[in-house]
Structure 1
């Protein structure tokens, strides 16, 4: 594959057309101020801005958040979101994003398919006309807000926005490698990459070298597995398939692989990726599907672990997430890897670091029934029953004896009176 091979976000929808991208780019100028999004009704149509999602999304309902956050909230951990940018006008992301550390790595002078110039966006990566990067960032570290049950899994982590792709797919393996190296420079503890190369061929060596440089700095690299898994399709995707990268598949509400989720031996774990609620540009939320939104779910768990165990290596954090995932079979499979991520278990069964998951440890097994003990004498229950029977019989005898005596006395008196001529 040539070094300039295109990258694609792991979305189920087709890439936006130039006209749609231009419309989204101008929408914030025509819409009410961002704060007004709080007053908009929530719409199932993904629009920018949108209303607040009123409840708690299913992907968060499966987690005991109070127990999780009693262990860690991700404070002090910096998570690089290498994506289409992160819009800080969404109130739940304003305090979560370190705009000063952001970077726009898209080339200058880009044009759309009609030859018109494409707005490059802010140099600090806080422009997102697609909405993809804003959703990814929200799943990781959105702050709590009134009026919605949606919140990031690591609500005290910090997002580093790195704009490296756009609606036209101008991201390349070169810009992705540059983004990874910039994330290292910006002191990221976790890197989230919700995109993959446009085909299954292994890209240039430089991208792999950039991944290795990040891993050498104990940075956890999380990447989406891809959405080409329909009909049992099995293939490797990059950068998810590189050694040391935690590749994330998508699971559904039943903890099974989502039909679209890419399968392969490289898959590390699965995470919710269906009907995923998250933040959108200018305010509010919308729902989306894809491994793009499974990866940040796991990146959020990695941030929680990183804050709780700052001395653990990237391999140890990945192994912890894999070991504590929910699974019903021993070992690894190509559909969901080591299982569906369990955030609470990852943060509570963490007494010591491990280097790799154990295929047997942590797997739930049925227990055989315990045989009853053989008694050679009278049991306490049997003795109590016997004594109770004795008491009942004695009481009955006493009552009968008393009644018999009273009858005898009465008859004797009647006979005496009859003899005396009284009757």
Structure 2
């Protein structure tokens, strides 16, 4: 059965309490990966996704693989039937906070009580970006492949997630001693939720838990507004970047944005097995949550503020300081794990960069298919051969002329 999730599908009926999953309009990074089908014979991505190609994984994992860290994925559940997630998820720590009935009194298909069913596929993709285990036949793997996922289900495709269920989910993550919490959701229409959600976030921060949240996908046309819980102080709000390290056109802007991370053509795991691609800050946030898990594993005594500041300080910048499009820059996992001699509390401008205007947002590119890549490489080869032939031909003519001149000089002498 094909499952798709439209951009910013509202998942509740009361605007002030509605919670939205943050996916952007679908793009196709590879033929066959345009739609997510949930089956054991689903497409397997055989290459290495671009978001991983930008990282020297060997160097990164020589510093940390995220072992002994717990990352709570507060989402639509995490399907452990995908073999890359079977051993990444600890179901004994999971929970399901969807109500048993909807507002009309109709039963809700809640799945199991431990959050390890996912009929939407959103939470399964989020979890894969964080901690999918390596598997033969695919270059896709989570950034923190030894971290443990706590599956916390509090949302679905029918609109049953609320700020209240999100609050309960955060408190469950605290109880289960999460090191990092990933929230790839926000309240609908950027509505300020009940203060209890804010209190739950502060409780997590007080427990030294790093809270990572998606910035939002309403950035087209330069739209800028706060989203929650991403806008709360202490939460690391993540925007989406593209292959050029520029803000994806759909990505939310604002002073609350902390960093950006890949969010276009994001390959990840889906229920049952295999992979598919998707766009959105929903998939930028877990990229950063994975980096946070790596840092927490290496520096278990660092506070949440110190982990966040480390990620922000080592991000790849286009200007010297912070800007409203990509925050402190695009996350650099290797720098975050290597330039870490001592913790810092607050990022600071980079004196090596001169002040410049913030970059303009990039258009939403749909990626390069294998066919396009093959055609591009073939063009490069053809041009290269033509240049080489021309160079050899020119060299031959020059050599012939030189020999003629030498023969002429000898005859006149």
TM-score relative to the length of structure 2: 0.79
Q: Deviations over 1:387-423 (max 9, x none)?
A: xxxxxxxxxxxxxxxxxxxxxxxxxxxxxxxxxxxxx
Q: Secondary structure at the match of 2:281?
A: coil
Whole-angstrom CA distance in 1 between matches of 2:111 and 2:273:
18
Name 2:402's counterpart in structure 1: none
Q: What is the Cα deviation at residue 132 of structure 1?
A: 0.0
**Alignment match of 2:47 (pick from 27, 37, 55):** 55
Q: Deviations over 1:352-405 (max 9, x none)?
A: 00000011256489xxxxxxxxxxxxxxxxxxxxxxxxxxxxxxxxxxxxxxxx
Q: What is the Cα deviation at residue 42 of structure 1?
A: 5.4
Whole-angstrom CA distance in 1 between matches of 2:44 and 2:207:
38
Name 2:344's counterpart in structure 1: 354
Q: What is the Cα deviation at residue 68 of structure 1?
A: 0.1
Compared with structure 1, are the counterparts of its residues 106 and 251 closer, same or farther at alpha carbon in structure 2 (3 Å cutoff)? same
Q: What is the Cα deviation at residue 54 of structure 1?
A: 0.6
Is the 8 Å Cα contact of residues 96 and 143 (structure 1) preserved in structure 2? yes
**Alignment match of 2:67 (pick from 72, 75, 99):** 75
Determine whether 1:165 maps to 2:155: yes
TM-score relative to the length of structure 1: 0.77
Aligned length in residues: 337
**Alignment match of 1:277 (pick from 267, 272, 280):** 267
Higher radius of gyration, 1 or 2: 1
**Alignment match of 1:11 (pick from 13, 23, 33):** 23
Name 1:187's counterpart in structure 2: 177
Q: What is the Cα deviation at residue 328 of structure 1?
A: 1.8
Gaps of 5+ in 1: 15-40, 366-423
Determine whether 1:90 maps to 2:90: no
Determine whether 1:305 maps to 2:322: no
Q: What is the Cα deviation at residue 7 of structure 1?
A: 0.1
Compared with structure 1, are the counterparts of its residues 118 and 108 closer, same or farther at alpha carbon in structure 2 (3 Å cutoff)? closer
Q: What is the Cα deviation at residue 203 of structure 1?
A: 1.3
Name 1:330's counterpart in structure 2: 320
Q: What is the Cα deviation at residue 278 of structure 1?
A: 0.1
Whole-angstrom CA distance in 1 between matches of 2:321 and 2:35:
40
Once the two structures are superposed, the pairs formed by residues 191-270 of structure 1 within 5 Å of their partners are 191-270=181-260
Name 1:382's counterpart in structure 2: none
Q: Deviations over 1:74-110 (max 9, x none)?
A: 0000000000000000000000000011000000023
Q: What is the Cα deviation at residue 51 of structure 1?
A: 1.5
Q: Deviations over 1:100-155 (max 9, x none)?
A: 1100000002379xx86431110000010000000000000000000000000000
Is the 8 Å Cα contact of residues 208 and 303 (structure 2) preserved in structure 1? yes
Q: What is the Cα deviation at residue 236 of structure 1?
A: 0.2
